[in-house]
Amino acid sequence: MPDKAVRENKMGTMPVKRLIISMSLPMMISMLVQAMYNVVDSIFVAWLSDKALTAASLAFPLQNFMIAVGGGTGVGINALLSKALGEKKRDEADRAANNGIFLQLFSYALFVIIGVFFVKTYAASLTDDPEIAGYASDYLRYICIFSFGLFMQMTFERLLQSTGRTIQSMISQMTGAVINMILDPIMIFGLIGFPKLGMSGAAIATVIGQSCAAVTGLILNLKTNKDIQLSIRKIFSPVASTIKNIYFVGVPSILMISIGSVMTYFMSIILGGFSYTAQAVFGAYFKIQSFFFLPVFGLNNGVIPVLAYNYGARKRERIMEALKFAVILAFVMMSAGTVTMLLIPKLLLMAFKATPEMLAIGIPALRIISLHFPLAGIAIVLGSVFQAFSKSYFSLIISLARQLIVLLPVAWLLSLTGVLQNIWWAFIISEVASLTLTAVFFKYVKRTVVDEL
């Protein structure tokens, strides 16, 4: 028995609270760095002009869709790989890793096509201002065509996370973030001999950072990840059953994250009926809230492999202890976000060179929207159960309800009042609906899956 415990992955043996911290903290730190460089991008762009900031906001839905495809596929890889390791099925774990890389290469090819043929049409659909549309299409063209680094970065980081190597995953992500932050001002403003590239410079800095992170992630997997074996032959020898299993979990996750792209796209249209400054405020809010949401998603990413592994190992007590601890952490973190936005909204917006008009719109917006943060934190962590236990369709239903069925119709109805500030209350209403659905589905999964272990 002692020999078996030594050989078993730490996700089945380490004390749960310490395991959650060790798995999640590196990812939370890397997510904070990720949030920082996303915000830094927008801050530098805002110094070009307020229209450039608006363009960055309008580019977000398509950029988020790209992340949805890569990240959602990564969730499928993560769940399948961790479960296989928990069941001591090394061959299945290897197939999940190598087939996952194959699927991400296919995803990259899709976005090359979008970048070449469709970004101008996309930008024109969101604004009548040719300057804003030009900024957005220039930015997105680089982001899509050179997205190879993004897809490979997310894949290699997921492989490290799935096998409990979260510190290496953090190193990969931080490498890309730091390089991007260094290159941003150089390429946007033309420093130290570089030409001034404006919005295109922000995009080029981003894809270079992503590519460097991908190379780092590959090296770390090859050198330190002994739980899986990567090979060119296995990558280009896809197995239909493995791909099906990856997408069984991954497609609902892709759709779930993509719903956010649909929401921000149509919300931008609703806000555009008031002013492009309202669109810029919405974009600034999304950058600011990432400081609080991304660490919680990092916590969530740390919890998922723990749940999946212990589900495969049939350890019910460890599953419940991990969930309880993670819910408390998420609630505290998101409550801190609410307090921050209530107390210093002006200071946060001034980082984006906010005009008086932007402050007048943005200060009440941040204060109102942030009220839903603690509820969102609870819902995010409880939702990790659905992903870890291959019940991602529940997460999809919840996201549909939150962002499309509730948020957008309510926001549109509130916009008919002619008072911009009323629109922000739609976020509170939709989050209450989301948490209610999450609680119902969680109770069902606990009774039918967890309690049966």
- pLDDT tens across the length of the chain (453 residues): 444 444 555 666 677 788 888 877 877 776 777 677 668 878 888 888 888 888 988 888 898 889 889 988 888 888 788 777 777 778 888 888 888 899 999 999 999 999 999 999 999 998 888 999 999 999 999 999 999 999 999 899 888 877 777 788 888 888 888 899 899 899 999 898 888 988 899 999 999 999 999 999 999 988 888 878 887 888 888 888 888 888 887 887 788 778 888 898 999 999 988 998 998 899 889 888 888 888 888 888 788 878 888 877 777 888 888 888 989 999 999 999 999 999 999 999 998 888 899 999 999 999 999 999 999 999 988 888 887 787 877 887 888 888 889 999 999 999 999 999 999 999 999 999 999 999 999 898 888 877 776
The amino acid at 264: T
Q: Which CA distances in Å does 51 have to 197, 199, 281?
A: 16, 11, 12
What is the pLDDT at residue 6? 41
Q: Residue 74's Cα: distance from chain center in Å?
A: 11
Which own/partner contact pairs does 118-124 have at CB distance under 8 Å and 24+ positions apart?
119/62, 119/144, 122/62, 123/55, 123/58, 123/59
> What is the token pair recorded at 142?
């680089």
- The DSSP line for 288-347 is HHHHHHHHHHHHHHHHHHHHHHHHHTT-HHHHHHHHHHHHHHHHHHHHHHHHHHHH-HHH
- Alpha-carbon distance of 67 to 70, in angstroms, equals 5
What is the pLDDT at residue 136? 92
> What is the token pair recorded at 15?
């004390």
- Alpha-carbon distance of 49 to 30, in angstroms, equals 29
Cβ-Cβ contacts under 8 Å for 419 (sequence gap 6 or more): none
Which of 246, 244, 249, 255 minimizes the C-alpha distance to 390? 249
Cβ-Cβ contacts under 8 Å for 212 (sequence gap 6 or more): 149, 175, 176, 179
Q: Which domain holds residue 343?
A: 2-452
Q: Would residue 105 be called left, alpha or beta, if left means φ above 0 and alpha means ψ between -120 and 50 degrees?
A: alpha
What is the pLDDT at residue 341? 95
**What is the total count of domains within the chain?**
1
Q: Which CA distances in Å does 201 have to 41, 156, 292?
A: 10, 26, 27
> CB-side exposure of 59: number of CA atoms within 13 Å?
32
What is the pLDDT at residue 245? 85
What is the pLDDT at residue 3? 43
Cβ-Cβ contacts under 8 Å for 273 (sequence gap 6 or more): 415
> CB-side exposure of 259: number of CA atoms within 13 Å?
20
What is the pLDDT at residue 2? 43
The amino acid at 110: L
Residue with tokens 């992170």, as numbered in its chain: 213
Do the Cβ atoms of 434 and 260 come closer than 8 Å? no
- Alpha-carbon distance of 281 to 427, in angstroms, equals 15
